[in-house]
């Protein structure tokens, strides 16, 4: 406390220190700007020359010859690329130093080293700043080892892990600064981890349109996750608003910082699996703000499309959002207590995404070369190249760890090489036959070659029929042949209505009715005329016209996932061999099959998996997922950390939301209080509109910048949008009103109307949940949906229903009746 | 024959000679196997002429993958640059050669 007694004196000293640091930062900024400008001049000069050099190539770009013109252009681009890379790195430095000039650091730790007794005042900022002259570090990067002391320890004994080993010492002082535009406003000293007052102030601010960085307020628990480098899989079970996603991104930034030291990662080695594109846009600013390059984000649908594209299946894949709409819609319209898993579609989905089905698929892959591939003798020109038995033996004998697709390709190559050895002799035979018939005296050679091409084509097609796997046809076969299916499922526990599910799967694959189904996508119809020339009868099964086009087909989400898995395992692709760290957000929404796909995609990567079992949408999840995830991913060294403090919402909103989950749901709130949530009943749509417009008015007047109106499904969101939009416009608000539908990337400032599943992971200053009536929210799935919707709110939450309120609110009111400012009508109906 | 552009131009000449279309009409999208108007014997002629011109072997079983002209150029380039980058970056000198 002695320090605080002399606050004024300390303040002056800190001011001095700040101005010294700022001088340093400004110098570095000026230097970086100079470098950037130099590079810019070089690039601009190159660009000025470029049109002259490539004008004719540019003119050709729209013509049919565009390919080679593009090649020409790329030569020029390559020349400039090097300068651009240097420019970008300078520009990144400029960005960093610009932000440092405004706020060079946010914290200070005075650390006494145990071994030398030396004392150092460590200033911590977003990036490090070094005095080039004295080689001293003026500001330490928040990710540096010594900065860890700030996040993990109060005053007293402390230590940190440096590259050379553990360093012990004492923390004498912990101080946090508020610096605005280069001016020191105030500072706090504390002996706890992060000063509560400081955090509370930050949290009471409005939600930003994009996710913000949390470097200044990282909590001890969060820091443990961010800096973990020991475990292959780090799993985080975090309550809504506990900062899971922020942690994931800061962890990515930390791992990249480690890259400077050599052992860490570059941005191209990290991938984030995100739930949807809206979310992708929402988090896209965090890493640049932390001074790092953005890393790649991927949604699962993208993986499916990519894979199916490579397989050659050209069909529309059901998106996750559409799947959710379909699963939720019948329950909503029928008004039944319809859990998604009570419909056949829901049960089929649950089965196909389950660990049981993953196991069946694995067994299936093992069986493919043994039972399913129609191996045949390879013949060429009436001679045996390789017998059926030999071919199968070659495929089965090759190294076990080599994927089946690769083994088959190698076998095909072997057959081709043998054929090549036989070719010369075969050409001679064909020639003597043609000469004997004296049909083509003027172009005998060419005619013979044409015959050979035709014959070889027929040969290679027969060989391809068993060396190139038609994953889709095989997958269909699995469902068509029930005997095979049950053989593969032997010893596994199947759902009781397996027969019904199989029938449903066949129907959704278009296999019902017993016809041959689809297959033969790798036949090449346009080349068939070559084969029709052939006088010899062809036994090639690909010539029979069963190649129904897949173009108009529609593939369900689960089938797309299963096909992706099958293809990845069979083909042994190497597309993502460079990925070392995979961050999976909203982990509870993924099924075992998803994790099996991740394992196949990124076999060597380490994982950071973040989720909340209370926020799953269409399926119940429990803590068992955290034991199954590492098992499916095949990682032996997992760590599970729990974050139970929510920083997003006010205590009132957190208590209200936790009440929805029923008994045993314990979510700690950070002590920040606000208005109690309001649940109100309305008589009809007109009243709903009036009341919601009023509420929006109040929210905007209170200075809330983002208002989320959350509905159960996209269809409902559209209805509500239509209901509100004219009214809002006539009120003359400047805040934009928008409907957020499937996968549109938008900013969140203003009033947004969106379905619950799109709102996941996002946050709004104020949230209005509409239509929370008993019919719409009846099942256990619905309970979690309500929880998700309510926990999106930072400061203010209101809910509207027509008729009777959902039964889940009775629990809420029972458990914490005094705290809720429930309007009279709502209270009467609900209790 | 060190770069794609040269292979492309040379193959286009071969094609116009063997199939009897104007050199200026050959584009990367010009149909070969996919064009029913082209006699299969002419395609055999084109293949043989290419083998001679580029001193490569085009395997008979691969010919039917030449749906359009560009497919054949890529095939030849792949054979010539086997083990190298398939579309190598041209040096400045070579680039000059294209234009002047």
pLDDT at residue number B23: 86
> Which run of H or E residues covers position A685?
helix A685-701
What mean pLDDT do residues A90-112 have? 87
Distance from CA of B27 to the nearest CA of A (A): 6
By mean pLDDT, which of A538-552, A576-590, A600-614, A680-694 is the weakest? A538-552
Give the start-end residues of each E strand in A163-220.
165-180, 183-189
Chain B CB contacts of A446 below 8 Å:
41, 44-45, 48
The pLDDT value given to residue A730: 67
Q: Are A456 and B61 in contact (CB < 8 Å)?
A: yes
Complex ipTM: 0.84
Q: Which of B27, B28, B44 is nearest residue A453 as measured by Cβ atoms?
A: B44
Q: What is the mean pLDDT of chain A?
A: 78
Which of B64, B74, B99 to probe the A interface (max A CBs under 10 A)? B64
Say yes or no: B91 contacts chain A, CB-CB below 8 A.
no
Q: What is the pLDDT of residues A193-250, one digit of tens each?
A: 455 555 666 666 665 556 666 776 777 788 888 888 788 888 988 887 788 888 888 8
For the whole model, what pTM was predicted?
0.76
- What pLDDT score does A562 carry? 92
The pLDDT of residue B51: 93
Q: For residue A463, what is the nearest residue in chain B, using CA coordinates?
A: B61
From residue A756, how far is each of A274, A548, A790, B97 by CA, in Å? Answer: 16, 39, 10, 61
**What are the residue boundaries of the structural domains of chain B, listed by start?**
4-99
Do A614 and A586 touch, CB atoms closer than 8 A?
A: no
Name residues 71-100 of chain A within 8 A of B (Cβ).
Answer: 71-72, 75, 78
Query: Which residues from B are below 8 Å from A50, CB to CB?
Result: none
Given this model, what pLDDT does residue A361 score?
93
Could you report the per-residue pLDDT of A412-447, keeping only the tens digit for each? 999 999 999 999 999 999 999 888 887 777 888 889
Residue A717's pLDDT is what? 86
Contact residues, chain A, for B29 at CB < 8 Å: 64
Eight-class DSSP state of A368: I
**Exposed/middle/buried for A541, CB within 10 Å: 0-12, 13-18, 19+?**
middle
Q: What percent of chain A shows pLDDT beyond 90?
A: 9
Beta bridge partners of A707: A751, A766
Give the closest of B28, B36, B90 to A67, CB-based.
Answer: B28
Average pLDDT over residues A771-791: 84
d(CA A452, CA B61): 9
Q: Please state which architecture CATH assigns to domain B4-99.
A: Orthogonal Bundle (1.10)
Average pLDDT on A78-92 reads 79
Q: Identify the pLDDT of residue A527.
A: 41
B12 or A7, greater pLDDT: B12
Q: What is the pLDDT of residue A468?
A: 86
* pLDDT above 60: residue A4: no
pLDDT at A356: 92
Judged against a pLDDT cut of 60, whether residue A262 lies above it is answered with: no
Chain B: nearest CA to A403, how far in angstroms?
A: 23
Cβ–Cβ below 8 Å for A71 and B47? no
Q: Which residues of A touch B41 (CB under 8 A)?
A: 443, 446-447, 450
Q: In the prediction, which pLDDT does A341 show? A: 53
What CA–CA distance (Å, rounded) separates A304 from A472? 13
pLDDT tens-digit map of B5-64: 888 989 999 999 888 888 888 888 888 888 888 888 899 999 999 999 999 999 999 998
**Residues of chain A above pLDDT 70, percent:** 80
Q: Which residue of A has its CA nearest to B73?
A: A68
Which of A66, A72, A530 faces B40 most closely, judged by CB atoms?
Answer: A530
Asked if A447 is an interface residue toward chain B (Cβ–Cβ < 8 A), one would say: yes
Taking CB atoms and an 8 Å cutoff, what residues of chain A touch B45?
Answer: 443, 446
Please answer yes or no on whether B60 and A527 come within 8 Å at the CB atom: no
Is the pLDDT higher at B42 or at A329?
B42
């Amino acid at each position: 406390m002695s320090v605080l007694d002399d606050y004024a004196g300390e303040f002056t000293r800190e001011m001095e220190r700040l101005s010294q640091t700022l001088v340093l930062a400004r110098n570095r900024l000026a230097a970086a700007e100079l470098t950037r400008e130099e590079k810019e001049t070089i690039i601009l000069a190159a660009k000025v020359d470029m049109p002259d050099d490539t004008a004719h190539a540019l003119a050709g770009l729209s013509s049919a010859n565009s390919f080679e013109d593009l090649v020409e252009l790329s030569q020029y681009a390559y020349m400039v690329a090097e300068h651009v890379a240097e420019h970008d790195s300078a520009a990144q430095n400029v960005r960093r130093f610009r932000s440092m000039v405004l706020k060079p650091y946010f914290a200070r730790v005075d650390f006494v080293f145990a071994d030398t007794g030396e004392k150092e005042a460590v200033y911590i900022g977003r990036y490090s700043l070094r005095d080039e002259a004295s080689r001293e570090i003026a500001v330490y990067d928040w990710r540096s080892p010594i900065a860890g002391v700030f996040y993990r320890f109060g005053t007293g004994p402390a230590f940190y892990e440096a590259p050379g080993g553990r360093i012990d010492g004492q923390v004498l002082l912990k101080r946090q600064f508020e610096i605005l535009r280069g001016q020191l406003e105030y500072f706090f000293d504390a002996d706890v981890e992060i000063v509560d007052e400081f955090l509370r102030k930050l949290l009471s601010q409005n939600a930003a349109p994009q996710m913000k960085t949390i470097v200044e307020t990282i909590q001890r628990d969060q820091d443990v996750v961010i800096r973990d480098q020991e475990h292959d899989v780090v799993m985080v079970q975090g309550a809504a608003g506990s900062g899971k996603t922020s942690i994931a991104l800061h962890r990515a930034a930390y791992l990249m910082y480690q890259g400077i030291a050599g052992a860490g990662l570059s941005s191209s080695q990290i991938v984030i699996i995100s739930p949807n594109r809206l979310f992708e846009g929402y988090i896209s600013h965090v890493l640049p703000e932390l001074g790092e390059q953005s890393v790649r984000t991927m949604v699962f649908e993208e993986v499916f499309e990519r894979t199916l594209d490579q397989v050659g299946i050209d069909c529309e894949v059901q998106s996750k959002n559409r799947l959710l709409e379909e699963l939720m819609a019948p329950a909503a319209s029928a008004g039944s207590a319809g859990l998604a898993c009570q419909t056949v579609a829901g049960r089929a989905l649950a089965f196909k995404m389950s660990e049981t089905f993953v196991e069946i698929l694995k067994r299936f892959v093992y069986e493919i070369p043994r039972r399913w591939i129609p191996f045949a003798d390879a013949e060429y020109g009436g001679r045996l190249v390789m017998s059926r038995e030999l071919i199968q033996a070659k495929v089965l004998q090759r190294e076990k760890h080599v994927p089946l697709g690769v083994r088959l390709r190698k076998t095909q190559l072997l057959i081709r090489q043998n054929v090549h050895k036989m070719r010369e002799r075969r050409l001679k035979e064909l020639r003597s036959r043609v000469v004997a018939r004296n049909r083509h005296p003027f172009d005998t050679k060419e005619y013979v070659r044409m015959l050979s091409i035709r014959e070889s084509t027929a040969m290679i097609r027969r060989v391809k029929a068993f060396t190139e796997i038609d994953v889709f046809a095989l997958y269909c076969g699995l469902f068509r042949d029930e005997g095979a299916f049950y053989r593969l499922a032997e010893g596994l526990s199947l759902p009781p209505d397996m027969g019904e599910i199989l029938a449903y799967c066949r129907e959704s694959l278009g296999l019902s009715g017993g016809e041959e189904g689809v297959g033969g996508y790798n036949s090449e119809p346009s080349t068939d005329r070559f084969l029709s020339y052939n006088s010899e009868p062809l036994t090639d099964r690909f010539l029979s016209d069963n190649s129904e086009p897949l173009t108009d087909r529609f593939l369900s989400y689960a089938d797309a996932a299963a096909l992706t898995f099958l293809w990845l395992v069979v083909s042994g692709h190497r597309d993502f061999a460079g990925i070392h760290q995979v961050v999976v957000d909203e982990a509870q929404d993924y099924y075992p099959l998803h994790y099996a796909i991740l394992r196949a995609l990124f076999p060597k990567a380490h994982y950071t998996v973040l989720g909340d079992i209370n926020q799953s949408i269409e399926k119940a999840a429990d803590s068992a997922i955290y034991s199954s995830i590492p098992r499916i991913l095949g990682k032996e060294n997992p760590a599970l950390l729990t974050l139970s403090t929510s920083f997003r919402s006010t205590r009132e909103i957190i208590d209200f939301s936790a009440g929805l989950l029923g008994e045993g749901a314990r979510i700690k709130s950070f002590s920040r209080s606000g208005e109690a949530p309001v649940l109100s009943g309305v008589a009809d749509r007109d009243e709903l509109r009036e009341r919601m417009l009023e509420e929006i008015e109040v929210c905007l007047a209170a200075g809330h910048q983002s208002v989320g109106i959350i509905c159960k499904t996209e269809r409902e969101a559209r209805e509500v949008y239509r209901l509100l939009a004219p009214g809002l416009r006539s009120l003359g608000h400047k805040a934009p009103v928008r409907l957020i539908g499937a996968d549109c990337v938008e900013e969140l400032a203003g009033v947004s109307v969106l379905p619950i599943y799109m709102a996941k992971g996002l946050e709004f200053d104020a949230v209005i949940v509409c239509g929370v009536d008993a019919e719409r929210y009846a099942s256990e799935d619905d309970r979690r949906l309500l929880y998700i919707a309510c926990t999106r709110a930072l400061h203010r939450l209101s809910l509207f229903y027509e008729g009777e309120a959902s039964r889940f609110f009775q629990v809420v009111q029972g458990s914490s009746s005094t705290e809720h400012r429930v309007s009279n009508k709502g209270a009467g109906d609900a209790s | 024959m060190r770069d794609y552009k040269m292979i492309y131009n040379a193959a286009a000449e071969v094609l116009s000679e063997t199939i009897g279309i104007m050199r200026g009409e050959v584009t990367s999208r010009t149909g070969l196997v996919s064009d029913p108007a082209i006699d299969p014997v002419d395609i055999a002629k084109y293949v043989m002429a290419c083998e001679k011109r580029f001193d490569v072997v085009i395997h008979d079983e691969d010919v039917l993958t030449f749906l359009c002209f560009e497919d054949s150029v890529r095939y030849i380039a792949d054979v010539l640059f086997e083990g190298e980058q398939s579309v190598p970056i041209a040096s400045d000198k070579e680039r000059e050669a294209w234009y002047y």
